[in-house]
Structure 1
Amino acid sequence: MTSISRRTLLAAGAGAGAGGLLGACGSNTGRGGGGSGSGQLAQWYHQYGETGTEQAVQRYAAAYKKADVHVQWRPGNYDQQTAAALLTDSGPDVFEVNGPTLDQIQGGQVVDLTELLDGVKDDFNQAVLAPKTYRGRIWGIPQVVDMQMLYYRKSLLKEAGVEPPAGLDGLIDAARELTRGKVKGLFLGNDGGAGVLGGTPLYAAGLRLVTDDGKVGFDDPAAARTLGKLHQLYAGKSLLLGAPADWADPSAFTQGLTAMQWSGLWTLPQVQKELGDDFGVLPFPKDGGAGRPSVPVGAYGAAVSARGKHREAAKEYVKWLWVERTDYQEDFALSYGFHIPARISLARKAAKLKSGPAADAVRFTTEFGYAQPLSWTPAAQTAYQDALSRIIRGGAAPESELRAVVRKVSAELDRVKKQS
């Protein structure tokens, strides 16, 4: 079975479906001694593709003295497994989650963890904390931050006399100027960017997916103008299409097939190994006077099941691991793959993140990071994604496409409000 990477959450739509439980797929017994009479705590993780991660979380669990923590490493459709398990009495006490989802919070399936962040809430990356917050209460503790950004080859830009683009128009011009011979100017994925960019261009235009008061955040002419420019990129033949590997892999960039590539932070060590200092990184460029640079961020979090038998003990363990043990948090983020600790103070002092493009990435997440909002449902995601694909690849009129999306998303947001 193919292992799942932490980056999966940045490329997938929000939400988890209900489904059958799979059997336990691996375990670890923690150290005994239930100091508060807590007994055994069951902790679930999705299967990571990064070597050493499973052993690391087993080591953290074994170091906890107040309860016997039993870790389960669960391959397969993890979101589906946890969604089903939360409806039973035999699910986990503590579980990793790409959420929790609005349905899980509104359905009373997860425990309020607000008090765990007393005094340290502001030290957590606010962009990834926001979708774990509902009505001012916190329902999941972010573990690490993943993000996407634009890589550019310094030598190729210098050779073409092109400056790193500061705006979307500049990106379009740079991609055209950098397209020479067998080298394309920009790689946004083999579909031209429809699958990976998501709401990023909207935020770059100064818009949002959902406003603070729960309304559609892109019912604005600026949205159509910005998305229409993505079709210009596609139609201008300056995008690399049909690369051997897609956007999440840096090989098109490191092998010289493209001068610029949109990819993830996780590829930075490989790019650095192969290109040395011959590259730089940028956020997605702003568009228009009201725009601002934009980078998508995401974070798996630790949550506590409301049907668990040891809820207080589970909360105590989550606080110990993801709030108090900053050494484990840094280890988890940077020793098995390349990620940013969810704590701002940790991200700023971590040696691997202190200089060069890595330090730029940390700054991008704090200054320009956005995450999919909690109320952005799978149905809203599908409607928007399908329209984005038609605009970029097919040249469909952005204005009419977005009008239809606004209607669908507005209906979804109204439905969510009624449920709450």
Structure 2
Amino acid sequence: MSAMSNSNWSRRSLFRAAAGMAAAGTLAACGGNNGRGGSGSGTGLTQYFHAYGEAGTEQAIKKYAKAYQGADVTTQWITGSNFESKLFASLLTDQAPDLFEFHPQIQLIKSGQVADLTDLVTPVKDDFNQADIASHTVDGKIYGVRMIDDPQFFFYRKSMLEKAGIQPPQTLEELMEAADKLTTSKVKGLFLGNDLHAVIQPLIYAAGADTLNDKNEIAYHTDGVVQGLKTLRKIFTSGNLLLDAPADFWDPSALNQGLCAIQWCGMWAMPQFQQALGDDLGIMPFPKVSDAGKPAVYNGGWSMFVNAKSKNVDAAKEYVKWLWIDQKQYQEDWALSYGFHIPPRTSIAQSAEKLKSGLPAEGVRLFNEFGHFDRIGWTQAMITATEDVFANCVRKGGDPEAELDKCDAKVDAELKKLFG
């Protein structure tokens, strides 16, 4: 998941009320037309992208579209908060995009919203990270083409840890102690993002749990997760956590400007961190939570989907095949020329010089060793339910068991709707 430029936007600020939103009329001002096909066939396609925070990304997506000869491709580059809700609201209207980026979620498939792309992906299936193939597959069919993988880590100032006499924390308890030692009158020890949502899944994984299991049953309600929530509550109330930073976790400015010593962020921001901090930069996975846990790296990312309800499904599929299957040069450009993302195509990832040494190579190693991918059955409503747990436990001091019980009821209701 790459950064948005709006500082109020949380990467997982989620869709809560598409039905109540105005139709896509509000979206007309969001995009720019500049992706025109060369000698296009006359077919017009519209694609939706959220506004990535890295400079040059909007121009790159429009450059690729302009190079395509098969259709005129218009890009809606959606700035501001709540890309998800704008996208979902537009999909209910006749102004819906022909193709759009999002994350694999099963409700989009069950509702017939996204087209089956098995025929596009199958010829190159073995060249994709197989975890990405699995996270886009339902009943043997592949929906969506992964564009980028986005591992997330803790970034830290080596000099600040050395000065405080501490090693990179191996457990959540050690992270809490480190945050205390690193906090001064001017610097907070730790930044987890303004709403803490970014660390929900990492915490679950680091506790040895998961969102769902392979049978699409609840897997996050464990003693380890309860313990992790209690520790995060202590961190939240300690005075050692940076709250209300000028930009959210996806932006590197909190660490770069010296507001904190350790920041949760994504590999996308690594070039900006390195530019600001040089060699005074380390990364580490989310430290293990409880004895049952182990370090965790959450892998976000973005995938391209074709709107199955579009009048131009075949033309949209052709464009997706051209850009995200055939044009390896553009795929590598998109992954590595702006921020750093891991290309989901194994051949591109292995040949990418920028990922072969130093901190990027360490990021790839942590991704390979500790990476966790979204489960396709883990939907927006379920994500929102776990956000409520964090709001009520970590921020407000509620009882983790009671809050997880409430979450279970919501998630179970969703699972029944989806899987019977």
Matched positions, count: 408
Residue 333 of structure 2: aligned partner: 331
- Partner amino acid, structure 1, of 2:153: M
- Partner amino acid, structure 2, of 1:291: G
Please report how far the alpha carbon of residue 401 of structure 1 lies from its aligned counterpart in structure 2 after TM superposition. 2.0
Unmatched 5+ stretches in structure 2: none
The C-alpha deviation readout for 1:358-404, integer Å capped at 9, x for no partner, is 22222333332334433323332232212212222233222222222
Structure 1 residues 325 and 275, CA gap change in structure 2 (3 angstroms): same
Residue 71 of structure 1: aligned partner: 74
Contact 1:152/1:259 (<8 A) preserved = yes
Structure 1 residues 68 and 119, CA gap change in structure 2 (3 angstroms): closer
Residue 164 of structure 1: aligned partner: 168
Residue 14 of structure 2: aligned partner: 13
Residue 135 of structure 1: aligned partner: 139
Residue 393 of structure 1: aligned partner: 395
The C-alpha deviation readout for 1:33-62, integer Å capped at 9, x for no partner, is 64xxxx524031325244433332333233
Report the TM-score when normalising by structure 2. Answer: 0.86
Deviates more, 1:348-357 or 1:220-229: 348-357
Q: 1:196 aligns with which of 195, 198, 202?
A: 198
Structure 1 residues 115 and 260, CA gap change in structure 2 (3 angstroms): same
Residue 413 of structure 1: aligned partner: 415
Deviates more, 1:22-31 or 1:142-151: 22-31
Structure 1 residues 165 and 68, CA gap change in structure 2 (3 angstroms): same
Q: 1:26 aligns with which of 22, 32, 40?
A: 32
Please report how far the alpha carbon of residue 79 of structure 1 lies from its aligned counterpart in structure 2 after TM superposition. 4.1
Residue 212 of structure 1: aligned partner: 214
Contact 2:335/2:343 (<8 A) preserved = yes
Are 1:45 and 2:48 an aligned pair?
yes
Please report how far the alpha carbon of residue 200 of structure 1 lies from its aligned counterpart in structure 2 after TM superposition. 1.4
Contact 1:17/1:79 (<8 A) preserved = no
Residue 302 of structure 2: aligned partner: 300
User: What is the aligned-residue RMSD (CA, Å)?
Assistant: 2.9
Residue 372 of structure 2: aligned partner: 370
Please report how far the alpha carbon of residue 278 of structure 1 lies from its aligned counterpart in structure 2 after TM superposition. 0.6
Structure 1 residues 160 and 55, CA gap change in structure 2 (3 angstroms): closer
Contact 2:4/2:11 (<8 A) preserved = no
Provide the rounded CA distance (Å) in 2 between the counterparts of 1:247 and 1:85: 27
Residue 99 of structure 1: aligned partner: 103
Structure 1 residues 5 and 147, CA gap change in structure 2 (3 angstroms): farther
Secondary structure of the 2:191 match is coil
Percentage identity across paired residues of the two chains: 43
Deviates more, 1:321-330 or 1:113-122: 113-122
Secondary structure of the 1:70 match is strand
Contact 2:227/2:289 (<8 A) preserved = no
Residue 263 of structure 2: aligned partner: 261
Contact 1:150/1:260 (<8 A) preserved = yes
Structure 1 residues 184 and 132, CA gap change in structure 2 (3 angstroms): same
Provide the rounded CA distance (Å) in 2 between the counterparts of 1:144 and 1:220: 31
Structure 1 residues 16 and 59, CA gap change in structure 2 (3 angstroms): farther
Report the TM-score when normalising by structure 1. Answer: 0.86
Please report how far the alpha carbon of residue 222 of structure 1 lies from its aligned counterpart in structure 2 after TM superposition. 1.9
Secondary structure of the 2:45 match is strand
Contact 1:391/1:397 (<8 A) preserved = yes
Deviates more, 1:368-377 or 1:72-81: 72-81
The C-alpha deviation readout for 1:92-131, integer Å capped at 9, x for no partner, is 44x1221354333112232111122224324334455444
Please report how far the alpha carbon of residue 241 of structure 1 lies from its aligned counterpart in structure 2 after TM superposition. 3.1
Contact 1:333/1:340 (<8 A) preserved = yes
Residue 360 of structure 1: aligned partner: 362
Contact 1:250/1:267 (<8 A) preserved = yes
Contact 2:118/2:141 (<8 A) preserved = yes
The C-alpha deviation readout for 1:181-234, integer Å capped at 9, x for no partner, is 43332222345xx33212210111110111111111123222211221112222
The C-alpha deviation readout for 1:150-178, integer Å capped at 9, x for no partner, is 01111121222211112222222222232
The C-alpha deviation readout for 1:266-298, integer Å capped at 9, x for no partner, is 332222112110110011112233322222222
Please report how far the alpha carbon of residue 16 of structure 1 lies from its aligned counterpart in structure 2 after TM superposition. 8.1
Secondary structure of the 2:243 match is coil
Contact 2:128/2:344 (<8 A) preserved = yes
Deviates more, 1:345-354 or 1:267-276: 345-354
Structure 1 residues 176 and 302, CA gap change in structure 2 (3 angstroms): same
Deviates more, 1:143-152 or 1:128-137: 128-137
- Partner amino acid, structure 2, of 1:63: A
Superposed counterparts of 1:170-249, under 5 Å: 170-190=174-194, 194-249=196-251
Structure 1 residues 89 and 275, CA gap change in structure 2 (3 angstroms): closer
Contact 1:189/1:241 (<8 A) preserved = yes
- Partner amino acid, structure 1, of 2:36: T
- Partner amino acid, structure 1, of 2:47: W
Provide the rounded CA distance (Å) in 1 between the counterparts of 2:156 and 2:302: 28
Provide the rounded CA distance (Å) in 2 between the counterparts of 1:85 and 1:236: 42
The C-alpha deviation readout for 1:114-149, integer Å capped at 9, x for no partner, is 122224324334455444332232111011223321
Contact 2:58/2:77 (<8 A) preserved = no
